[in-house]
């Protein structure tokens, strides 16, 4: 999983400055969502045990901060056009009716200000309303897309689930390693690396098994494992 700076995120997505978390169809063939694992993040996004992301829909826009968190999340704007929630929900319905493939969603996870992790592609497989104890919110289920699955890195699909590093572990490792490669101090093109690979039983949940490596050291390590 690659660590990137916001500028690189923008470059990845064709120079588009993403101002909001949900961007349905922004790239034509796919959508982009931003999620945060910071304690003060505005939305309750979760990473489930099997690698599925439970992504919370977004609040009513253009109302006060207090009102935002007390109003039900909207499916349509006053003009009748669909909100981002509505667009995601419509894609889910069409998928369930067999009218389309699941919408492809590119996920970026914010680790701290200006630092993101490229989580790759997910399929939008479900969406529903849920009461959060206060009001109704939308929840969307994003399933990891195994089109990018690299069989040489894992023996079984089940193993693949174990490579998902929880957000709090990502944050702790970033702090501990000072946001740079532990081998050479490089601060660009960084990756989260499993010291013991997940395919060999190494844990993703134990921060002691995760470190930050630059692209060069990440690759050279890969070579050693193969030969
Ligand atoms: Zn390095």
Paired residues of 139 in beta bridges: 56, 128
Q: Cα(80) to centroid of ligand 1, in Å?
A: 52
Q: Cα(211) to centroid of ligand 1, in Å?
A: 11
Predicted pLDDT of residue 185: 96
7 shares its domain with 108: yes
Q: Cα(143) to centroid of ligand 1, in Å?
A: 31
Q: How far apart are CA 16 and CA 80, in angstroms?
A: 26
Longest dimension (CA), the chain: 61
Q: How far apart are CA 57 and CA 54, in angstroms?
A: 10
Query: ∠ CA 7-10-14 to the nearest 5 degrees?
Result: 140
In a domain, 155, yes or no: no
In a domain, 159, yes or no: no
19 shares its domain with 98: yes
Neighbours of 112 (CB within 10 A): 14
Question: Domain tally for the chain?
Answer: 2
Q: pLDDT tens track of the chain, all 227 residues?
A: 789 998 889 998 988 888 789 999 988 889 999 998 777 777 888 888 778 899 999 999 889 988 999 999 999 998 999 999 999 999 999 999 999 999 999 999 998 888 999 888 999 999 999 999 999 999 999 998 866 555 455 444 444 445 678 888 999 999 999 999 999 999 988 999 989 887 788 888 899 999 999 989 988 876 554 33
Predicted pLDDT of residue 131: 96
Cβ neighbourhood burial of 134 (10 Å; 0-12, 13-18, 19+):
exposed
The single residue listed with the structure tokens 């349905």 is 24
Q: Cα(180) to centroid of ligand 1, in Å?
A: 8
188 shares its domain with 116: no
Predicted pLDDT of residue 146: 67
94 shares its domain with 45: yes
Q: Cα(184) to centroid of ligand 1, in Å?
A: 4
Q: Cα(147) to centroid of ligand 1, in Å?
A: 28
Q: Cα(191) to centroid of ligand 1, in Å?
A: 10
The single residue listed with the structure tokens 């929840």 is 139
Prediction pTM value = 0.84
28 shares its domain with 104: yes
Predicted pLDDT of residue 95: 97
123 shares its domain with 81: yes
Domain of residue 172, residue span: 165-226
């Amino acid at each position: 999983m690659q660590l990137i700076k916001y500028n690189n995120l923008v470059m990845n997505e064709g120079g588009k400055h993403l101002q909001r978390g949900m961007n349905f169809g922004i790239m034509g063939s796919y959508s982009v969502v931003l999620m945060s694992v910071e304690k003060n993040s505005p939305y309750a996004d979760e990473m489930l045990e099997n690698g599925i992301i439970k992504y919370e829909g977004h609040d009513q826009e253009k109302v006060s901060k207090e009102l935002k968190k007390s109003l039900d999340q909207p499916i349509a704007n006053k003009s009748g056009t669909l909100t981002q929630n509505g667009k995601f929900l419509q894609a889910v319905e069409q998928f369930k009716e067999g009218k389309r493939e699941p919408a492809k969603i590119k996920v970026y996870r914010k680790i701290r200000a200006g630092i993101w992790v490229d989580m790759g592609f997910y399929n939008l497989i479900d969406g529903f309303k849920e009461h959060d104890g206060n009001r109704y919110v939308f929840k969307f289920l994003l399933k990891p897309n195994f089109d990018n699955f690299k069989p040489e890195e894992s023996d079984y699909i089940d193993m693949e689930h174990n490579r998902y590093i929880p957000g709090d572990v990502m944050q702790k490792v970033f702090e501990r390693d000072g946001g740079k490669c532990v081998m050479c101090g490089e601060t660009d093109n960084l990756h989260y690396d499993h010291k013991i690979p997940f395919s060999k039983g190494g844990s993703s949940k134990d921060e002691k098994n995760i470190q930050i490596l630059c692209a060069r050291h990440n690759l050279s390590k890969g070579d050693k494992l193969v030969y």
